[in-house]
Structure formats: C-alpha cells, structure tokens
Structure 1
Amino acid sequence: MRDLDELFLALSKSAFRSKFRLQGKDLVYLHDKGLPTVIAHAEDFIAKRLAPAVIKNDGKQTPFRGHPVFVAQHATACCCRGCLEKWHRIAKGHELSPDQQAYVLKVMERWLRDQIA
C-alpha cells in the first residue's frame, strides 16, 4: 500500500486517471445522499467487488458511471485487482485484508472529498 500523497501525485500524472471528475447525476447523488452514505456504499462495493481472492470478471466489474463510487474507483485505480496491484502494491490472488479494504476506502474517500470541494 502506498502513501496517499505519493499516490495522488502519481494519479495526477496519469492522463487516464486524471480525466475523471464527478459530473451530472453522480455529483448530484453525492450532494443529495451525503458523503457518509456514499462511503457506506463504497465499503459494500469493496467487500463484494474487490475483496475476494478471485473475481470472475476482474477488470470489467466496475462501471464507468452510475454511482459516484464507480467514478472514484476508476479515478483512484481501485477499480479491479490488476489496478490495485499496479498502483497500490496490493497483490492479486488473495482476499483483501480488513486493513487493505480500509486503505482502499480511505483512498476513495479522499478523492470524493476533493470532488465536493
């Protein structure tokens, strides 16, 4: 797992990752539901879509829009186990530990807070 300042600096240098912004319905949803509710959704998505050791459709399990968390996952490279390995140094092939899940949640929460500001 990486230092968050180091990670966000690296993400800002990626043309693909840095293009993601909350817009339209996703931004309205975040404002209407509030950050605590969206973070609770993120926690559930992490547990179901990222935490298992083997994910049947890994690399394709996260839509690009439809929920603020999906956008945050792509913006922060928390969208699949391959990106978690490449960007966050979290190896594939094992279930994410509670600490790793908390780290992923912290990464996405920081990005979402930046979108609100």
Structure 2
Amino acid sequence: MVKISDKDWDALKKKLADDGRLEKFILGEPEQEYVTSRGMEILRLHATDFVNKRLAPAKPKNDGRQTPTKGHPVFIAQHACGCNDRSAVEEFFGYEKGRELTEDEVDIIVDTILRWIDEHLDT
C-alpha cells in the first residue's frame, strides 16, 4: 500500500486551501460518529471500494456527478480533497483523465481521504 508523503500532503493541502475546499467541507456529528463506531480500517475498505468503482476507471459512469456531497464520511472527504471526479483528480493529483488509475494512484487517493478524515475528527 502506497501512502501520500508528508511533503505531498502539505502541498496538496495548500492547493486545496487556495481553492477553498478545506474550509467548505466538514465532518458533522453523524459522520464523526460513523467513523468512530466503525474505525479507520473499515473506512479504508469503503474508500478503496468507492475509488475503484467511481474514480479509477478511464471513463467513470456519470463523471462529474458520481460522488454525493453527503451521506458518508468518505464522500465528504473526497470533495474536500479534490478527488470527487476525474477532473478534480487531474487538477489536484495530476492523474490525467481518460486512462485507468493505477493501484498505487488509488492507494494515494485513499490515503489522502483517510488523512483528511483523521485530521477532521473532534477528538
């Protein structure tokens, strides 16, 4: 499993802050309860499944509209982290549209989602 480096995470957070995403999305109480009741390893499984099904294909179904903005902590984190559709992935991660994401790229996106969630839990 590949992880996002601290340097890359800091650079991504700056891009996201400049875009206004970091201030726009928060984990509400229900989402935080979801995370704490299930744990980060279950969330990793959910995030991996969502990314593989909704982002990783070269031409994802309903690209640009495939990720809800509520209903699951991973969905909120995807929007906050710029990995909610392939245009955002290209903009924030540099992974070009029109080709399937590699396993390492999926791992980096999933790790990014989980880091954001971890940093936004009220603990």
Is TM > 0.5 for Structure 1 vs Structure 2? Answer: yes
**Corresponding position of 2:42:** 37
TM-score (norm 1): 0.92
Indicate whether 1:79 and 2:84 are aligned.
Answer: yes
TM-score (norm 2): 0.88
**Residue among 67, 70, 74 paired with 2:75:** 70
C-alpha displacement at 1:38, in angstroms? 0.9
74-83 or 5-14, larger mean C-alpha shift: 5-14
Determine the C-alpha separation between the residues in 1 that align with 2:79 and 2:52.
17
Q: Is the 8 A contact 1:39 1:109 kept in 2?
A: yes
**Residue among 15, 23, 26 paired with 1:18:** 23
**Corresponding position of 1:112:** 117
Instruction: Tell me which stretches of 4 or more aligned residues in structure 1 moved more than 4 Å.
Output: none
Work out the number of aligned pairs and report it.
117
Indicate whether 1:90 and 2:95 are aligned.
Answer: yes
**Corresponding position of 1:27:** 32
> Gapped runs of 5+ residues in structure 1?
none
Give 2:17's aligned amino acid: S
> Gapped runs of 5+ residues in structure 2?
none
Determine the C-alpha separation between the residues in 2 that align with 1:61 and 1:111.
20
3-state SS of the aligned residue for 1:40?
Answer: helix
Determine the C-alpha separation between the residues in 2 that align with 1:6 and 1:49.
25
**Residue among 99, 102, 105 paired with 1:100:** 105
